[in-house]
Amino acid sequence: MTAARIDGKAVAAALRGDVADAAAVFTDRTGRAPGLATVLVGEDPASAVYVRSKGKATGEAGMASFSHTLPDTISEAELLALVDQLNADDRVDGILVQLPLPAHIDANRVIAAIDPAKDVDGFHPVNAGRLATGLDGLVPCTPLGCLHLLKQQLGSLAGKDAVVIGRSNIVGKPMAMLLIGESATVTVAHSRTRDLPDVVRRADIVVAAVGRPEMIRGSWIKPGATVIDVGINRVPAAEEGKTRLVGDVAYDEAAEVASAITPVPGGVGPMTIAMLLRNTVVAAHRRAGLPDPEGL
Ligand SMILES: Nc1nc(=O)c2c([nH]1)NC[C@@H]1CN(c3ccc(C(=O)N[C@@H](CCC(=O)O)C(=O)O)cc3)C=[N+]21
């Protein structure tokens, strides 16, 4: 069997169209566009690329973008002061502080300083708690994008065996919460899990978020499983001096066994950005006291 390739880029483009429609309605009703503020500390070139592509996507969706680039010599207090300023700014509906932050800054303190109503990354403990307890809040973009792809592919997830590989606050834990919310039977595996290949072999749904290039092999995949690859790893390419992106899953091997699989690039990555825009337009509606836009 050759697996269907789940086209995250196309699904993300459709979602961005719906977000743009909702943003236009919001702008009409309130007289201002939904606004996203991004904060980048330091000059890491890969991080700068993400922030730029987010800024571009925001404009295309009819939203306002406020981007702040700070030197990596900035103090924690100065960064916290900027977050306070963005919390107080009524034009700003969403705040994204790009991670990782330099080592002298406590990322948990910065995340905790963001107004939970503007926390479009869904990283604030209040939003994590809401997700864990089934309350409405803002949900982390990458797991939300993975769930959207899974539901589009499978319909109901109820009763499916799902394995999430990775236990980060950003992907693994919220992914597990979302899958539980869909009534899947969820196993969270990680670096200390015993017999990982056997654990993965039981799964109808595999979400790989470990950050190790091509670690999950085709022989680990249950025939017919759906595989969502969150990994974005840059590795040396065949041609001297060049690099290419690979996921956490050995794509060609897994595609021979799975029924559907996301590619890297063009899978989960574009969904993350689309969900960031989605969360921003949802946050704008809630802050304005309007009902959530339908169908997002
Ligand atoms: N507070 C915070 N929130 C984040 O959501 C966040 C962050 N910090 N720090 C960095 C990571 C990384 N991240 C990506 C999003 C989209 C692609 C993406 O669209 N990738 C393209 C490929 C891009 C390329 O070709 O380089 C794809 O997979 O097709 C990648 C990476 C969000 N992050």
Q: How far apart are CA 61 and CA 91, in angstroms?
A: 16
Same domain, 53 and 99: yes
Same domain, 148 and 262: yes
Q: How far apart are CA 279 and CA 118, in angstroms?
A: 9
What pLDDT score does 182 carry? 98
Query: Coil, strand or helix: which one is 69?
Result: strand
pLDDT at 52 over 90: no
Report CA-CA distances (Å) from 169 to 139, 154, 211, 296: 11, 25, 14, 23
Q: Which amino acid is at 9?
A: K
- What is the value of pTM for the model shown? 0.98
Same domain, 81 and 178: no
Q: How far apart are CA 108 and CA 272, in angstroms?
A: 21
Q: Give the pLDDT confidence of 256-267 residue by residue, as tens digits.
A: 999 999 999 999
Q: How far apart are CA 256 and CA 108, in angstroms?
A: 41
Q: Which amino acid is at 213?
A: P
Same domain, 67 and 174: no
pLDDT grade for 276, boundaries at 50, 70 and 90: very high
% pLDDT > 90, the chain: 95
CATH of the domain at 111: 3.40.50.10860
Q: Give the pLDDT confidence of 101-152 residue by residue, as tens digits.
A: 999 999 999 999 999 999 999 999 999 999 999 999 999 999 999 999 999 9
| Candidate list 54, 118, 160, 222, residue with the active-site label | 54
pLDDT at 46 over 80: no
CATH of the domain at 239: 3.40.50.720
Total number of domains in the chain: 2
Same domain, 150 and 211: yes
> What's the chain's Rg over C-alpha atoms?
19
What pLDDT score does 55 carry? 86
Alpha carbon 228 to its chain centroid, in Å, reads: 12
Q: Which amino acid is at 50?
A: Y
85 catalytically annotated: no
The rounded Å distance from CA 223 to ligand 1 centre is 30
Ligand 1 pocket at CB < 6 A: 50, 96-99, 121, 141, 232, 245, 264-266, 269-270, 272-273
Ligand 1: nearest atom to the Cα of 268? 28
167 annotated as belonging to a binding site for a ligand: yes
The rounded Å distance from CA 111 to ligand 1 centre is 18
153 catalytically annotated: no
Q: How far apart are CA 40 and CA 170, in angstroms?
A: 17
54 catalytically annotated: yes
What pLDDT score does 102 carry? 96
Range of the domain at 183: 141-269
Q: Give the pLDDT confidence of 183-205 residue by residue, as tens digits.
A: 999 999 999 999 999 999 999 99
Q: Is residue 151 part of a domain?
A: yes
Q: Is residue 163 part of a domain?
A: yes
pLDDT at 45 over 80: no
Ligand 1 mutation target, pool 15, 229, 272, most atoms within 8 A of CB = 272
What pLDDT score does 263 carry? 98
Q: Would you say the ipTM is above 0.95?
A: yes
Q: Give the pLDDT confidence of 63-112 residue by residue, as tens digits.
A: 999 999 999 999 999 999 999 999 999 999 999 999 999 999 999 999 99
Beta bridge partners of 245: 234
Same domain, 41 and 149: no
Can you count the helices (H) and strands (E) in the chain? Answer: 10, 11
pLDDT at 54 over 90: no
The rounded Å distance from CA 269 to ligand 1 centre is 6
Same domain, 64 and 175: no
Same domain, 110 and 145: no
Q: How far apart are CA 62 and CA 35, in angstroms?
A: 9
Cβ atoms of residues 230 and 171 within 8 Å: yes
Residue with tokens 């948990």: 108
Same domain, 244 and 175: yes
Phi, psi at 225, each rounded to 5°: -70, 160
Phi, psi at 287, each rounded to 5°: -65, -30
- The mean pLDDT value of the chain amounts to 97
